[in-house]
Amino acid sequence: MSVHKDLIKHAANQNKTYQVFQELDQQRERYIEEAVELCKQGLPFSTDKINEVTNRMNKINLRFVPTMKFVTGEMVQDYVKSLTKQQ
């Protein structure tokens, strides 16, 4: 019975960790959207908040999720340029 309880506890902890990861992922996406919008407007932007969250996500180290890439200003600019080419 003890093994069963340990497995339930482990699964609960894994689920909690995954929920934290999901919240961080949503926050990261919001920061990316903010940077993209600022870049579109020609305003200064930073990737610091994006990469801070990325670092926290990578420290969680979920085995089934690949390591998240850090975002550079150039990456944001390239993305915005690709959006304007599509229009």
Q: How many domains does the structure of the chain reveal?
A: 1
Dihedral in degrees, nearest 10, Cα atoms 80, 85, 25, 63: -120
What band does 11 get if pLDDT is binned at 50, 70 and 90?
confident
Q: Is the pLDDT of residue 1 over 70?
A: no
What band does 6 get if pLDDT is binned at 50, 70 and 90?
confident
Tens of pLDDT along 39-60?
Answer: 999 999 999 999 999 999 999 9
Q: Give the model's pLDDT for residue 4.
A: 82
Range of the domain at 63: 2-86
- The distance of Cα 75 from the centroid of its chain, to the nearest Å, equals 15
The neighbour count for residue 57, using CB atoms within 10 Å, is 21
